[in-house]
Structure 1
Amino acid sequence: MADTITVALVGCGLISLYHLRAWQASGAQIVAVCDTDTAKAEARAAEFGVARIYTDAREMFEDGGFEAVDIAASVGAHAPVARLAADHGVHIMCQKPLTETVAEAEDLIAYVGERVRFMVHENYRFRPHYMTVRRWIDEGRIGTVRHAAISCRGSGLCPREGTVPFLVERQPYLTGFRRNLVFETMIHHLDVLRCLCGPLSVVSARLNRLAEGLPGEDTAAILLEGDNGFIATADGCLVAPGYPPLHGDRLEVIGTKGTIVMELNRIFILGDEENTEEVDLLGRYQECFDIAMNAFVSGLRDGTLFETDRLDNLETLRLMENVYHAAGVEVAP
């Protein structure tokens, strides 16, 4: 593989800005962008100096000239584009969720096989406040992890006079999406719990809809278990007045020697609050994208495993889907 890895991007929506910045920071070269919306593709190409613009992914793959593809399009496009990539010998970086269901993900993973490298862009575990928690656990500050509880709260689906809720304005597809909080957002939190606590399974779950006029759940409570009776909980609500429109997180990890608390951007050990660390979440938002892209580039160059490769992320997808099963909700979105 050449020193400079060439990458094509599929999907030029809001999140692609952070993807492209991260690819630039990694030293990769973006050689093509593709979106069914020509204006979006042209805007991103102009912003990042990309010469090749496409509205058809198949045409882009047939023209070739790149070693990897970053699939940042909507979830329905993930599998078709990933299959094209495998057929053309192009390595895959795919935005989460990998597919809408576990069955589709298993079929896709089997289809791709070992023909190309395949990483899922699940970057939440790389966000700086969660990385701080991971570092403190690895340093042995709280001993062996024995229990964890994670939650997210936001007001993004609270009603706004004279207009639609913030998240509906930002993500209009939610008006037709029968799965919302767990599929769209708390899949990240389930992945963080797996990362911190090891293998988990869903014991029970309850989902609710507090926002009016939306088909998907916006409130959830989940009970999980691990080895030797380990218990973890995850809960969330996007209709929580007083919280910011974009949700914030709280995490508590109880160990044999201490307890780590993460409240929004503050991380501390109970009883040692004077050594609290604060993270500029907005100023460092780009960081998790940079870490993910750097890991992908390093993995391709060195042949090392991806932390969030397709098989690891499949376990997170299984947790997400099993939440809906446990809550008695159909899996199909």
Structure 2
Amino acid sequence: MIEPLNKPTLRVGIAGAGAISQFHLIGWGEVEGIDVVAICDPDEARARERAEAFGIPAVYTDVAEMLATESLDAIDIITPVGSHAPLVRLAADHGVHVVCQKPMTPTVAEAEALIRDIGDRVRFCVHENYRFRPHYAEVRQWINEGRIGELQHVRLTMRSASMVAPEGETPFLLGRQPYLADFPRLLIFEMLIHQMDALRAMLGELDVTSASVSRTNPALKGEDAGVILMRQREGGASVVLDANISAMGYPPLPTDRLEVIGSRDTLIMDRDEIYLVSDPEYRTKHDLKANYQACFSGLIASFVKGLREGTSFPTDRLDNLETLRLMESAYTVSGWKPAE
């Protein structure tokens, strides 16, 4: 049985003050009964900048010191993936509940070892937030309501110019996160893991049947294009995930198009619109900029709800382990080898 955390105010610490931390901090600020009391980053100036912007009283450059000093109830780990496991273990040693950015660890084996080590000492949630995007949540709702009947075929296409730009310009994502150029696993590990998790939330468990990935941008070490074929474990619908993040002409931020074919109708999600092919005049329209923040806020709210009520997190570490296994199997099946 999970014990609810019955405290009027939860003390939260933030590990990592990089670009993405602002969306986490906005999310924490939207939940009642939360006091973000400290933020930590090896770059003290960056941590102080976030602290001043969000009214956080204490700044640290060492997570161990923050955990030893602040009597935290929870920590939000927003650091590079290689640091996740050590920081989660450190938090658990202090009895501090954890929400940790995706991917949980670089490999499935490391994730399994981490989960074994943590056990039930603290609650452990992974910040995998695409399933909280309101447009994805609406697609899941339409499927669950039976609007298209039994699922038969699904295709999700993702395109962006994140990793490519006209000559003389820096690609958008490399300008924001230059270290990604050296990631040996890029497209699936860093990007498509989001879509894989969202598809699992919509369709149930999936198995990879085949995959082909490639590198179209020679400046990258990892892959930037690929097609992954999967099959729904219960129901047997075929699922195609087709992506390219070096697609000239597309916006720098990823755009998704989802087609879900059922026995009664076909559902389309095209960027910000959702409709049925049989009734294209009726469409729901989403504000994708607002939805970007909403997925951070939604996950953080679900984490706090789970802590307070003693209920499961939608992206609990055991659930997220299945997303990691799906990602890993795509690499295994594709036979991908990064550039030397």
TM-score, normalised to structure 1, is 0.97
- Aligned pairs (5 A) from 1:1-333: 1-27=6-32, 28-227=34-233, 228-329=235-336
What is the rounded CA distance, in whole Å, between the counterparts of 1:32 and 1:7 in structure 2?
7
User: What is the CA deviation profile of residues 277-303 of structure 1, one whole-angstrom value per residue up to 9, with x for unaligned ones?
Assistant: 110101332111111111111101111
How far residue 330 of structure 1 moved from its aligned partner, in angstroms, is 5.6
What is the rounded CA distance, in whole Å, between the counterparts of 2:238 and 2:73 in structure 1?
43
What's the C-alpha RMSD, in Å, of the aligned pairs? Answer: 1.4
Query: Which SS does the other structure have where 2:290 is aligned?
Result: coil
Amino acid at match of 1:160: P
How far residue 139 of structure 1 moved from its aligned partner, in angstroms, is 2.1
How far residue 165 of structure 1 moved from its aligned partner, in angstroms, is 1.7
Query: Which SS does the other structure have where 1:275 is aligned?
Result: strand
Amino acid at match of 1:51: P
Q: What percent of counterpart residues are identical?
A: 49
How far residue 175 of structure 1 moved from its aligned partner, in angstroms, is 1.9
What is the rounded CA distance, in whole Å, between the counterparts of 2:126 and 2:144 in structure 1?
24
What is the rounded CA distance, in whole Å, between the counterparts of 2:185 and 2:101 in structure 1?
18
Amino acid at match of 2:270: E
What is the rounded CA distance, in whole Å, between the counterparts of 1:12 and 1:151 in structure 2?
32
User: What is the CA deviation profile of residues 248-276 of structure 1, one whole-angstrom value per residue up to 9, with x for unaligned ones?
Assistant: 00111122221110011111101211111
What is the rounded CA distance, in whole Å, between the counterparts of 2:91 and 2:284 in structure 1?
42
Query: Which SS does the other structure have where 2:87 is aligned?
Result: helix
What is the rounded CA distance, in whole Å, between the counterparts of 2:237 and 2:143 in structure 1?
17
Query: Which SS does the other structure have where 2:229 is aligned?
Result: strand
Query: Which SS does the other structure have where 1:304 is aligned?
Result: coil
Amino acid at match of 2:163: L
Unaligned runs of 5+ in 1: none
How far residue 329 of structure 1 moved from its aligned partner, in angstroms, is 2.6
Contact 2:38–2:70 at 8 Å: present in 1 too?
no
What is the rounded CA distance, in whole Å, between the counterparts of 1:35 and 1:217 in structure 2?
30
How far residue 131 of structure 1 moved from its aligned partner, in angstroms, is 1.3
How far residue 207 of structure 1 moved from its aligned partner, in angstroms, is 0.7
Unaligned runs of 5+ in 2: 1-5
User: What is the CA deviation profile of residues 306-332 of structure 1, one whole-angstrom value per residue up to 9, with x for unaligned ones?
Assistant: 11100000000011111111111369x
What is the rounded CA distance, in whole Å, between the counterparts of 2:99 and 2:43 in structure 1?
21
Contact 2:151–2:237 at 8 Å: present in 1 too?
no
Q: Which runs of 4+ in 1 moved over 3 A?
A: none
Amino acid at match of 1:124: Y
User: What is the CA deviation profile of residues 108-130 of structure 1, one whole-angstrom value per residue up to 9, with x for unaligned ones?
Assistant: 10110001111111110111211
Contact 2:227–2:241 at 8 Å: present in 1 too?
yes
What is the rounded CA distance, in whole Å, between the counterparts of 2:121 and 2:290 in structure 1?
38
What is the rounded CA distance, in whole Å, between the counterparts of 2:292 and 2:335 in structure 1?
35
How far residue 64 of structure 1 moved from its aligned partner, in angstroms, is 3.2
Amino acid at match of 2:134: P
What is the rounded CA distance, in whole Å, between the counterparts of 2:135 and 2:157 in structure 1?
14
Query: Which SS does the other structure have where 2:288 is aligned?
Result: coil
How far residue 48 of structure 1 moved from its aligned partner, in angstroms, is 1.0
What is the rounded CA distance, in whole Å, between the counterparts of 2:337 and 2:119 in structure 1?
29
What is the rounded CA distance, in whole Å, between the counterparts of 1:330 and 1:67 in structure 2?
42
What is the rounded CA distance, in whole Å, between the counterparts of 1:56 and 1:4 in structure 2?
24
What is the rounded CA distance, in whole Å, between the counterparts of 1:214 and 1:330 in structure 2?
13
